[in-house]
C-alpha cells in the first residue's frame, strides 16, 4: 500500500521505510515555491529525523530474448 505525501515522497507502509526520489536541492526548490526557506543541512537533518531514505536507481540485467 502506497500513500502519496507532499513533494512526491512515497511511503512503503508494509516495510516501514519512507522513500524519496528527490534530491535535497529539489526539495529545497519545492519548499521555496511554498515560501519556506531552508538550507541543505536542514533538509538533511529533517530527512534523517523522519527516517526518509533516498531512492536509488536499480540496474537489472535482462535475461529474456528479444
- Read off the pLDDT of residues 27-61 as tens digits, 9 standing for 90 and up: 999 999 999 999 999 999 988 888 887 777 667 77
Sorted by sequence, the CB contacts under 8 Å of residue 26 that are 6+ apart come out as: 7
For the chain, percent helix, then strand, then coil, each to nearest 5?
35, 25, 40
Picking from 1-10, 16-25, 38-47, which range would have the lowest pLDDT averaged per residue? Answer: 1-10
Cα 63 to Cα 56, 57, 59: the distances in Å are: 22, 19, 13
For the chain, the maximum distance between any two Cα atoms, rounded to a whole number of angstroms, is: 51
Instruction: Please count the other Cβ atoms lying within 10 Å of the Cβ belonging to residue 57.
Output: 5
The reported pLDDT for the residue numbered 14 is: 46
Q: Return the domain boundaries, the chain.
A: 2-54
Amino acid at each position: 500500500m502506497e500513500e502519496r505525501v507532499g513533494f512526491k515522497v512515497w511511503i512503503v507502509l508494509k516495510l516501514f521505510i519512507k522513500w524519496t526520489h528527490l534530491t535535497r536541492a529539489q526539495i529545497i526548490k519545492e519548499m521555496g515555491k511554498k515560501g519556506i526557506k531552508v538550507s541543505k543541512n536542514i533538509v538533511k537533518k529533517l530527512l534523517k529525523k523522519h527516517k526518509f531514505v533516498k531512492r536509488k536507481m536499480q540496474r537489472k540485467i535482462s535475461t529474456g530474448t528479444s
